[in-house]
């Protein structure tokens, strides 16, 4: 089978680089286009990128010439977007109107009423909104979003519990890695020896996106899940991997053993289909009260799993636990790629 050509918009940034690293040896996709701002356009990728990942930049990719994203053109029909939300707001619709299939990491269209916000295991049926989106907007292409990195891993842990017992309420306090702010991100003088509370809408995303994702899609509409979420978000001096301390109130009484079983047995369509980027297990359970830890656990399932530990009764709600997830892999590029793999499997990424 010949590979599907794909492009990365925002290719020089933290998420763009992660896309390149995950796509460089992908069995189904082949990078043909790298797009960024006019600052990088027209130059060899290897000369403009400040490569911050430990795996080497492949020579073939380094030799590609960066194209201007605002020209709204690319050879590949499938484009992974790692644009800032402000740029995504105008550029993603431009590409979709020209027939491109956009898998976006930006927040610009996540809450739009005709845009699927998808975690592949949780709500693949929301992708059925795409024909309605195309009809309403007059596009041949489409936009599919994946969630905020913190929200992604929160859902990774809440969805198994919601399926098994019903989640009524959740309280989450986050400790989010520096790479979540992009490159170069927060100045090191602000972050070293420090913790910075989030002030840019992060808490609202964590409180609303999971309800769209865990909600239903019927009669052409998304119905949000009935649950109350409250978030306290903080940036901490960790390179990669967001940690979240979670308390939940459940609709049904349960035991610690049943909760562990719900996490352990949780699987979705990507695992059933054996999609190339699907983690198995989806939720990686860790033993002991001192885990999960970012340095030790963020690469579970190749960075695609949500790691859960410290499951215990909660004095305020019913149960509490800690979770950890890689923010630029499952929380960004890897999540987008898994969505695209499902669409490719269904034959819905025709050239
Ligand atoms: P970043 O490191 O700041 O990278 C931004 C990228 O966008 C760069 O490639 C930059 O290209 C390009 N860009 C900026 N302005 C542009 C313009 N006017 N036209 C075309 N390209 C432009 O940001 P990031 O962390 O990779 O985040 C990318 C997106 O993913 C954001 O929407 C972010 O919220 C989202 N996200 C990030 C994470 C994470 O963990 N970092 C997780 C989930 C979602 P130049 O180098 O040419 O300026």
283 C-alpha vs ligand 1 centroid, how far in Å?
A: 28
Q: Residues 181-195: pLDDT tens digits?
A: 999 999 999 999 999
Q: Specify the pLDDT at position 112.
A: 98
39 C-alpha vs ligand 1 centroid, how far in Å?
A: 13
Place of tokens 């484009």: 79
Q: Specify the pLDDT at position 199.
A: 73
Q: Is the pLDDT of residue 1 over 80?
A: no
Known catalytic membership, residue 145: no
Atom of ligand 1 nearest to the CA of 83: 7
Report the residue among 37, 74, 118, 119 best suited for mutation to probe ligand 1: largest number of ligand atoms under 8 A from its CB.
37
Ligand 1 binding site (Cβ under 6 Å of any ligand atom): 10-16, 36-37, 39-40, 69-70, 82-85, 87, 105-107, 149, 179-180, 182-183, 327-328, 331-332
Q: Specify the pLDDT at position 100.
A: 98
Q: Specify the pLDDT at position 324.
A: 98
Structural domains in the chain?
4-148+333-345 (3.40.50.720), 149-327 (3.30.360.10)
Q: Residues 56-92: pLDDT tens digits?
A: 999 999 999 999 999 999 999 999 999 999 999 999 9
Which residues of the chain form beta strands (DSSP E)?
A: 4-9, 29-36, 67-68, 78-81, 101-104, 142-145, 167-175, 196-197, 216-218, 221-223, 228-232, 234-235, 242-250, 283-285, 306-313, 319-325
From the list 145, 149, 153, 326, the catalytic residue is 149
How far is 17 from 50, CA to CA, in rounded Å? 9
198 band by pLDDT with thresholds 50, 70 and 90: confident
pTM: 0.97
Q: Specify the pLDDT at position 97.
A: 98
Q: Is the pLDDT of residue 303 over 80?
A: yes
- Average the pLDDT over 159-173 and give the result: 98
76 C-alpha vs ligand 1 centroid, how far in Å?
A: 20
Q: Specify the pLDDT at position 219.
A: 95
Q: Specify the pLDDT at position 200.
A: 77
338 C-alpha vs ligand 1 centroid, how far in Å?
A: 20
Q: Is the pLDDT of residue 301 over 90?
A: yes
- Average the pLDDT over 128-144 and give the result: 98
Known catalytic membership, residue 242: yes
- Average the pLDDT over 259-276 and give the result: 98
């Amino acid at each position: 089978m010949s590979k599907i050509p794909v492009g990365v918009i925002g290719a020089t940034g933290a998420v763009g680089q992660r896309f390149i690293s995950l796509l460089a040896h992908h069995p189904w996709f082949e990078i043909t286009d790298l797009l960024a701002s006019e600052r990088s356009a027209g130059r060899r990728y290897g000369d403009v990128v400040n490569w911050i990942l430990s795996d080497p930049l492949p020579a073939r990719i380094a030799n590609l010439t960066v194209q201007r994203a605002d020209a709204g053109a690319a050879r590949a029909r499938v484009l992974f977007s790692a644009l800032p939300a402000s740029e995504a707001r105008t550029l993603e619709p431009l590409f979709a109107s020209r027939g491109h299939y956009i898998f976006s990491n930006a927040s610009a269209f996540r809450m739009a009423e005709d845009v699927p916000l998808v975690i592949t295991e949780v709500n693949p049926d929301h992708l059925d909104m795409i024909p309605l989106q195309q009809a309403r907007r007059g596009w041949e292409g489409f936009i599919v979003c994946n969630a905020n990195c913190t929200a992604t891993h929160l859902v990774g842990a809440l969805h198994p519990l919601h399926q098994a017992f019903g989640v009524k309420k959740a309280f989450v306090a986050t400790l989010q890695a520096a790479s979540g702010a992009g490159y170069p991100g927060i100045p090191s003088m602000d972050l070293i020896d420090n913790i910075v509370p989030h002030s840019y809408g992060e808490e609202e995303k964590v409180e609303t996106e999971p309800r769209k994702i865990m909600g239903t899609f019927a009669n052409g509409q998304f119905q949000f899940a009935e649950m109350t979420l409250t978030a306290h978000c903080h940036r901490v001096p960790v390179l990669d991997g967001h940690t979240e301390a979670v308390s939940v109130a459940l609709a049904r009484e349960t035991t610690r053993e049943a909760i562990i079983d719900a996490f352990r047995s949780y699987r979705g369509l990507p695992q059933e289909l054996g999609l190339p980027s699907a983690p198995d297990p989806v939720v990686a359970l860790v033993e002991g009260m001192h885990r999960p830890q970012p340095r030790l656990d963020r690469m579970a399932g190749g960075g695609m799993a949500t790691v859960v530990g410290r499951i215990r009764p909660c004095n305020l709600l019913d149960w509490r636990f800690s979770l950890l997830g890689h923010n630029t892999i499952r929380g960004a590029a890897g999540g987008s790629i898994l969505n695209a793999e499902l669409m490719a499997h269904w034959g819905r990424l025709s050239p």
